[in-house]
Structure 1
């Protein structure tokens, strides 16, 4: 039995469909019972903020997908660290035989925001005694349709990206890699850096989306973010992430998706072709 955390999210929805199509026994973890019923599969209601609620969901579970959304930090701390480390402890107590964690690209102690948070969680997982595998994807292609890809109210890709290239990945491919690790023998004690098949500039991405590209200086971007009411320290950390992309820190293309799934990852064009017709060319949909 596999327990899928984040079952209603970007990766989880793809994953439960893949597992269902192969007849693999799985259970979806949801916070809202109505959303669980809407999935049309076995589900359990639990909340990462209430670790005791996870015990029933983990009953009989052999492998766990550890994945949750990154809520805004509180006083500089990411709630995800507390939530996921508690989930790891609950999985250990339940006798789970492997945890597959969706992490982030190149997590490190000197990183910022959720990237550092993922590093902290990885350290806890590695010391937990539970066998583990790590998936470390770059930015998701879906971000350009969820408001997290640098869009402005003018329907343009905007940010201090410069000519930096990013090897964005489709969440569909992350789910496929997770499915391979959750159902197969490979991957124990290994970390996989996941990318798409190509590294694109944000100008090239904007052209594919059919919207303008507004390249900003870090000062311009910072002023705009502060004008939205974001705290200064948070803006500074966001600018660190932007600078990493602009300098090519997320431009490497790896073979990890092919290694795990036996096929090439989706290109940005293939990702766009898979979107519902009414959203194509309209990132705000």
Structure 2
């Protein structure tokens, strides 16, 4: 049985049905099973890792997908150690390409520490290091719905965005087939696109023009605080990570195609799938 943490998150909501389709038995952790809309074929269990009885949650599991909210190294280390005690044979951890590039921003550092804990826990392990998610472009929803415009910091680098379904497909492979023990996989899309190119692709999917607006970092910071209510510290963290990841965002890895035997899903496909979300909501 496969125990999936983060079962209702960006990756988890694709991973759970993919594992079930592959014939695996799945236990999915969620804070509120009634609201979570977990695939009914899975065993949905209520739990919060800060208060959960880990031995009970892990009872009967032989493989675990490790992903925690806030990417807490302490929390993931606790899961890895408890999994080892419970007799789990394989841990698959979702990390970030920032670790591959040796980035020192807080998110990459936390993932690096958690990776180390997973490697040292005892069971076999596989590390998945995706780059920037295509789903991050949902951050443009508000301005597109209201103004048909996208505001982008002038420092935004080209990015080899990855589709979360590709991440879930690789995770499914690692969790259900052998040969991935001790492997670390960097995962990106197949091409690096500038923000302007991304906006043009999205406009085509929406069937209407979008205004592309470059703004200073200071203006972007103010927008995130004012429009989205982000705490100033979170905004600082985001831009610290962007500064570090900038030169690395455009690097394309061939891992998805190598493992899945097909090209990575494109941003154009993602835009078509999600076009309806960008229409003005009455």
Query: What is the distance in 1 between the residues matched to 2:280 and 2:13?
Result: 20
Matches within 5 A, 1:119-134: 119-134=112-127
Does the C-alpha gap of structure 1 residues 266 and 87 become closer, same or farther in structure 2, counting only changes over 3 Å? Answer: same
Task: Say whether residues 1:158 and 2:151 are aligned partners.
Answer: yes
- Structure 1: stretches of 5+ with no match in the other structure: 71-77
Matches within 5 A, 1:55-94: 55-70=55-70, 80-94=72-86
Does the C-alpha gap of structure 1 residues 177 and 217 become closer, same or farther in structure 2, counting only changes over 3 Å? Answer: same
Corresponding residue of 2:206: none
Q: CA offset at residue 13 of structure 1?
A: 1.6
Does the C-alpha gap of structure 1 residues 37 and 140 become closer, same or farther in structure 2, counting only changes over 3 Å? Answer: closer
Matches within 5 A, 1:162-173: 162=155, 164-173=157-166
Corresponding residue of 2:43: 42
Q: CA offset at residue 219 of structure 1?
A: 3.0
Corresponding residue of 2:207: none
Q: CA offset at residue 283 of structure 1?
A: 9.0
Matches within 5 A, 1:199-218: 199-210=192-203, 211-218=210-217
Task: Say whether residues 1:138 and 2:131 are aligned partners.
Answer: yes
Q: Is the 8 A contact 2:133 2:164 kept in 1?
A: yes
Query: What is the distance in 2 between the residues matched to 1:230 and 1:44?
Result: 31
Q: Is the 8 A contact 1:151 1:157 kept in 2?
A: no
Corresponding residue of 2:187: 194
SS for the counterpart of 2:265 is: coil
Does the C-alpha gap of structure 1 residues 242 and 216 become closer, same or farther in structure 2, counting only changes over 3 Å? Answer: farther
Q: CA offset at residue 98 of structure 1?
A: 0.9
Does the C-alpha gap of structure 1 residues 227 and 19 become closer, same or farther in structure 2, counting only changes over 3 Å? Answer: closer
Q: CA offset at residue 102 of structure 1?
A: 0.7
Query: What is the distance in 2 between the residues matched to 1:91 and 1:157?
Result: 44
Does the C-alpha gap of structure 1 residues 13 and 87 become closer, same or farther in structure 2, counting only changes over 3 Å? Answer: same
Q: CA offset at residue 135 of structure 1?
A: 0.6
Corresponding residue of 2:89: 97
Query: What is the distance in 2 between the residues matched to 1:272 and 1:253?
Result: 20
Q: CA offset at residue 116 of structure 1?
A: 1.8
Task: Say whether residues 1:14 and 2:37 are aligned partners.
Answer: no
Corresponding residue of 2:262: 263
Q: CA offset at residue 131 of structure 1?
A: 1.7
Higher helix share: 2
Corresponding residue of 1:116: 109
Q: Which moved more, 1:263-272 or 1:203-212?
A: 203-212
SS for the counterpart of 2:87 is: coil
Query: What is the distance in 2 between the residues matched to 1:155 and 1:120?
Result: 41
- Structure 2: stretches of 5+ with no match in the other structure: 204-209
SS for the counterpart of 1:165 is: coil
Q: CA RMSD in A?
A: 2.6
Query: What is the distance in 1 between the residues matched to 2:170 and 2:219?
Result: 38
Q: Give the aligned length.
A: 271
In the superposition, the TM-score normalised over structure 1's length comes to 0.84
Query: What is the distance in 2 between the residues matched to 1:267 and 1:173?
Result: 10
Corresponding residue of 1:243: 243
